[in-house]
Amino acid sequence: MTVAVLTGIAFVLVLGVMVGSARPRRASGVSDFHVAARAVPPWWNGAAIASEVTSGAACLGLAGLIATRGGPMVWYPLGATAGFVVILALVVAPLRRSGTYTLADFAEWRLRSVRLRRPATFLVLVIGLAFMVAQLHAAGAVVRLLTGLPPWLGWAAIASAALVVACAGGLGSVTSVQAAQFWLKLAVFAGVGAVCWWAAGARSVTWFQGAYRAAEPGLAGVGDPSLPGVLTVLVACALGTMGLPHVIVRVYTNSDGREARRSIVATQVMLAVFCVVPPLYGLMGHGHPHHGPPDEIVLLLPARLLPGPVGDALTGALAAGAFAAFLATTTGVLVAVGGAVSACLARAGVRAFRAAVCLVALAALALTALTGPQVSVALVLLGFSLSAATLCPLLVLGIWWRRLTDAGVAAGFALGGGVTAVLVVEEQAGVKMGVLTSNPAPVAVPVAFAAMVMISLVTPGRLPRGVGRMMARMHLPEHLAGPGDYRSSQHGDRSS
C-alpha cells in the first residue's frame, strides 16, 4: 500500500508543479500577475473556484462526520453552495466594477481610509491561515495513516508545491492547477467511490438506522446533528463564503462582469455535482465503522472492502485525489493572501508578492507544527465564521449602503471578530453556553452589522468624499460608469 500511496501523491504533486510552471502567462504588470491577465474562460474559472471550495480537509472530514454523526451532516456542503447564490446576487457585478483586487483594497477605496487596510489585511491573513493549516494537517494525516511516515512530510510536500506554483505565474498558474485538479479529484473520488459501493453492494447499508456516535460538537459547532446546530453551520458557510479572499479574487480573472457572473453559475453547477461525494463515502463508512478519527474513514475504506492489490491501488488513487484537493485549496489561499499582505507591507510589485507568499507559507507551517491534527474541519468552519462576522458586512454594506463610514467598519471588525474570538476561547476552555454559541456566526454576524450601521450613523462627518460617484461606478453598467480601472494600491506595477 505504501508504494501505491507514495506513487499517487508524487504523481499529483509533480503534475501540479508542471501544469503551474509550464509556460505560464507572463504578466505585463503586477495587476495582470494577480488576476491571470483577466483572460480566464468562465467554465475554467468555475472549475478553479469549485476546486478551492471542495478542499481535501473538508471532504475527508465531512464524510467522516456523516459516517459517525448521521444524516444531518449531509446539509453541510449546501452552506458554501448557498453562499455563491448570495455572491451572485449581491457582490459579483458591483465588486467587479469597483476595480479593487483585494478586500483590503476595497476597504481603502470605498471608505477613503488607508488605516482600514491593515485590519482588513490582518483578517484576510487569519482566515487564510486557518484554511491553509487545515489543509496541511489533513495532508500530514494522510501520509501518517497510509504510509507510517512523519506527518511533516505531508506538510512540506504541499507547502513546497504550492509555493512553486504560486511564484511561477501568480493567479494564472494557480488557476490552471486548480481547474485541472478539480476534474482529477472528481474522477478519483467518484470512481473509487463507485468501485467501493459495488464491492459493498452485497451488504446491507442503511442510512438512518444503526448507532451513531454521541459526541459533543467541536470547535465552531462541528458535528452537532441538531436542527439549530446544522442551521448555525449553514449560516456561517453561506455568509462566510462571501468574504473568503481566495473566492473574491476570482471576480477579476474574467474579461468582464458578465463573464464573472457566468463563472459563479458554473461554480454552483460543479459544486452540486461534487456534493454527492461526501455522502457516498459517509454512507459506506457508517456501514463499515472505524474506531479512529472520523477523517480516516474514507482513506481506509478501499483496503477494508477489497483487501489485496486492488484495494492498495484504490487507496493510492484516493490519496492522490486527496492531495490534489489539498494542493488546489492551498495554492488559491496562498496567492490571495500573499497579494493582500504584499499590498499592505511593500506595495512594490511582483517581487514583494513572491516574498509575501513565502512568508505566509512559513507562517502556515509554523502554526501547523504548533497545533493538533484533529482540527481540520473545525478550522475550515472557523474561517467561514470569522469571514461572515467581519468581511461579509464590509462587502454588503460597502456595496449597498452609501452612509457607511470607516469608523463604522472599524467598530464592526472589532466587535464581530472579538465576539468570534471570545466564543471560540470559551468553547475551548469548556464553557458551554448552548448551541447558538458553539458556532459564533449567528451571534457575531448581527453584532457586526449592527455596529457598522450604528457607528456610521453617529459619525456622518466621516462619510468619504465622492461616495455618490463610487456608488454609481459599482451599480451602473460598465458602459455608463466609465472604464473599470484596476485600483490596487500596489505601486510599481511592473513585471518580474
Q: What is the pLDDT of residue 208?
A: 45
User: Per the domain annotation, does 249 fall within a domain?
Assistant: yes
User: Per the domain annotation, does 279 fall within a domain?
Assistant: yes
Q: What is the pLDDT of residue 211?
A: 47
Domain count, the chain: 1
User: Per the domain annotation, does 178 fall within a domain?
Assistant: yes
Q: What is the pLDDT of residue 214?
A: 47
Q: Write down the residue that cell numbers 472549475 correspond to.
A: 47
User: Per the domain annotation, does 164 fall within a domain?
Assistant: yes
User: Per the domain annotation, does 40 fall within a domain?
Assistant: yes
Q: Which of 74, 81, 82 lies closest to 54, judged by CA? A: 81
Listed in sequence order, the residues at least 6 apart from 489 whose beta carbon sits closer than 8 Å to its beta carbon are 105, 108, 117, 343, 347
Question: Cα(129)–Cα(371) distance, rounded to whole angstroms?
Answer: 12
User: Per the domain annotation, does 495 fall within a domain?
Assistant: no
Q: Give just the sign of the alpha carbon dihedral 190, 191, 196, 197.
A: positive
Average confidence (pLDDT) per 10 residues, the chain, 496 residues: 89 88 56 65 87 78 78 74 81 83 88 91 92 89 90 93 86 84 90 86 49 47 67 82 83 76 87 84 75 76 87 91 90 88 72 88 92 72 87 94 95 93 75 65 91 96 91 78 49 35
Amino acid identity for residue 408 in this structure = G
Q: What is the pLDDT of residue 202?
A: 46
Q: How many CB atoms lie within 10 A of CB 422?
A: 14
Range of the domain at 214: 2-376
Q: What is the pLDDT of residue 446?
A: 93
User: Per the domain annotation, does 442 fall within a domain?
Assistant: no
Question: Cα(165)–Cα(24) distance, rounded to whole angstroms?
Answer: 10
Q: The domain spanning residue 191 has which CATH number? A: 1.10.4160.10
User: Per the domain annotation, does 9 fall within a domain?
Assistant: yes
